[in-house]
Chains A and B, each alone.
Chain A
Amino acid sequence: MSAALFLSGLGLGVAGSLAGAALPARARVPAASVLTAGACTTAFAAAAGVLASGGAVTASSAQILPLTGVTLSLDPLGAVFVITAAAVGAAASCYNVGYAARGGGSRTATALLPLFITSLLLVPAAASIATFMAAWELMALSSLLLLLTGHRRREVRDAAQWYAVMTHAGAAAILLAFVLIGAHAGGQSFAAIRAHAGAVPPAVRSLAFVLALAGFASKAGAVPLHVWLPRAHPEAPSPVSALMSGAMVNLGIYGIVRTGDGLLRGGEMWWWLAVAGLGVTSALFGGIHAAASSDLKRLLAYSTADNMGLVLTGVGVAGALAVTGHRVLAALAMIAALFQLVNHSAFKGCLFLAAGSVQRAAGTRDLDSLGGLLRRLPVTAALFGIAALSICALPPFSGFASEWLLLQGFLRGFTAHGAATATALLAGVAALALTGGLTAAAFVKAFGIGFLGQPRTPGAAAAGEAHPAMTVGTALLAVPCLVLGVVPGAVVPLLARAAATALGGPWPDPLQAGPGLAIAGSADVIQPVLLAAALLAGLALAWGLVRLRARAGAERGHRARRAEAWGCGRELQTARMQYTATSFAEPLQRVFDDVLRPDHDLDVSHLAESRYFEQAITYRSRIDDAIERGAYRPLTAGVQRWGEVARRAQNGSVHRYLGYGFAALVILLVVLA
């Protein structure tokens, strides 16, 4: 039943793609969006069924891929990722109806978006190496082509170049890792590999894990393999950005968990400590850059790297605890990581869609040019605000519940005595704390500078509310931020099943039943419903007191007087006197100067007559990604130099080429003889 449901979901996705390619302009976008939304809903239902029952659904066919066939198997772990991808996919296709309405969706873009979403649903269900790689490549190619729909702009072409190279290098590493494992374990289906995981020698296992980690961590946006992320996510069209940040980076985490725990049956301690180390570095680096960025979408992209870092830390801690035999503690850490991942998809997807609406309305995504948008786009601003409060981990939203669970996972882990684990846990808590503060600073900046105050440019002043389909799509993802925050106990037991599958279950459930979150065997519990009720009661009480006192002084009326803002009595106050995003972030930028390494350019030109008088002063300040500048640029420069050297061997002379061919033939004959 669930198998048929899931397959029909995939089929609807393909049908949506065909509809987008074949139909005429007017019908193209709505038809493709409806079919894709249907695909997402059926896949969601199928995955929910898998999670509820705890079993797996399989389907296979020897036909579609030559030589290997296609094997699909949706188990509870994959179901979690299918659910998040389906939710973000449904919201993105609904959003696309409004997004493409004014620009007019091109045939390519409308055909590729359903294909991208289908590949996101397919990857967690793949159960053999060939299926997995086919789905992975489909996902990479479709997202690359969707990114390139804006190819007229130079930044988009640059971003696509970085994205293409890094994602394919990552795919090559993953393929190599799988081939190594599959060759020793004697089979290419995941079930066969799992059964014979002991046959793989330890050195090969470690090498394979490192390769797979490199490929999947790059996809997840882990520092230092993240440099494509702050380039590609901002430049892509908004629904595609939301899918990339809300669903695609999750699959990097899926790959690591599947390879390490599922295929390789646990593994060594140092693997998981390396994962946790990667996580801590990503969280800190991403958080610092998000706090310092003044481009709205670049801020959100770095924040994705930050949150994925926290998830990676949770996964690493879970793996390390599982290796040392602490089953319950490992399950708790894994549940916390999965919960953070699910919540991140919801609020990051919502943030990217809202940012897309802002970019459409105001014409720019530079925070220094926005402002006053709360009055002009009230619904979009409210949805951005809900998602922003959620990502800052403030009660009673979902981010708070998942960060609490992560903290509990780390706290419990300290009872497992071990110096390496304790160091990893302490680093995890410190990273979580600092990134929590940095995220709060980043999103106060994003919401406060972007939506509050006065508009800083005429473009921002002329902004209007987005197309209703765009607001509905954004609202679809804002609802989980509230619901999962107030009743996390409804969802987390399902994640426990997924965690059990990930760690090679069945494992005892570390959480007690109930609407809130309670750790079994301890006094630690939160009841977000009660917290939300207390907050609402407090709000009502405070508001009531204000109104009561205002009514008592009735000769002044209870309406507040609108007056000019206090500016020390100066006669003229303009919008330019407000703080900008760059100035807001300047104290933090100073503190983290060594990490950010901003680029300051001061150009002074003097008058010809005398050097004492200046004619013009130009100041430019940029914050580039320091890892890109320090590690990748020398690398690409070195590769280019090698290319120049090799060009000397290819000088265009036919005689030389014939000589190469002859020499190769002679060598082959010598070797084979």
Chain B
Amino acid sequence: MSTTKGSVSDTSSRAPLAPWRADDHDPHGHVVQFYSEDRSLIETLGQFIGSALEAGDAAIVVATEAHRHRLAEELKARGIDAPSAIEQGRYISLDAVEAMAQTMLDGWPDETRFADHLGRVISRARLAAEKARRSNGPLIIEPRVVAFGEMVALLWAEGRHPSAIRLEQLWNDLAKTHSFSLRCAYPMGGFHRQEHSEPFLRICTEHSAVIPGESYTSLKSEAERLRNISQLQQKAQALEAEIVQRKEAQESLRQREIALREAEQNAAMGKLAAVIAHEINNPLEVIANVFFLLRDHPSLDDNARGLTRIAEEEISRVRHIANQTLAFYRESEKPISVSLNQVLDAVLEIYARPLKSQGIAVEKNYGREREILAYPVEIRQVFVNLIGNALQAMPDGGLLRVGIHDSSETIQGSRRTGLRVNISDTGVGVPAKYRDRLFEPFVTTKAEKGTGLGLWVSRGIVQKLGGSIRFRSGKIGGKTRTSFSVFIPTGQEAPENVS
């Protein structure tokens, strides 16, 4: 069964024959048309079906009731005598919903049902067209069959995308046994989501030709079309960039929401922590004072004094754990200008007694007075921890160096000026096995004497100020030296070459 190409003339005078219309004449063509307005679909469909009917060919339409009605009006307006063609049986118009019911099984396009139903319709229309032609004389040219199917568009609109693609494949399978030229149409509005890109491409590849939307097909000249393609490419580029920006914005928003939730949790924890701290520290002071007084009380024998010392050590542990943990959650207030020199001096004063009793020499190298914006209690906590660690590392004496100097550091890609506090000791050093994990919570080099929270808390405090803590521990000239370096930015951005 075959038809001769070019045997059908396009009689429409409304629109010029565009290049993509060539496939209308392919007896095996399976063309998909995308459209924005129904008016555009009906107009091209009127041309497609109308030219076939006018040429005495067969036509089959499987469309929605609304489209069938509008097509009938369009054909009439074009002067096509559709009712006669229907009477002759060479024009068959089917309701898409009913046709779908007859070709689907359990909600999925059924190969056998589809082939039986549509195959019969095509054969019937062809025979009717042949009969009509013979009635006018000998059959010289066999009639062709054109078909328009809209079941796929209905399935797509219902979100049954795999079913729509399957139905397209069944139409292609049917074309292997029946000769017909098929047109499908989808409203472009059904492909508005990014995830439609892949199935959209699949739909296109299931067809031998694609008719783009009317914003393109309505263009008259090649120059206009090329301009339009360039414009669409630019829009696609802009949209892709916007998608990337939007994704970044969404991610940024998500991160901010997480940060906000964390801040809210921290604020709640901060309030709770303040209450707990208050409730613990008040009685703790009384207990600590009582044991301090008992320590050398003349009424106690050596055993009892030993017990008071154990109690004092345990009180110290309670105090340490409570304050380290609670200090981590703080209510946000504005940082104030704090003199690093004064903070370090105050901390050294706190440790005056152990420094003396352990025989530790202190070398201070502060230079001029330097101030940072910080929370005084927090920044003091950092140096209480670092200097306290240095003291514990030197039970048999040594040298504690405390220095402040101007510095700069690259933080998150930008060079920041600031202040650096170096605290170094000549103590036992940090064993290699702890070096990678020193700032993790509960990691301690001090066995049962340490909580493992000090450096973790300190790093958290310094990071909140936008700074960093680093450390080095190793042997220099046969002596072990451990140095902690705290960098606190003072806000200005420095040129890259500042060291």
A binds B: no
Residues of A within 8 A of B (CB): none
Residues of B within 8 A of A (CB): none
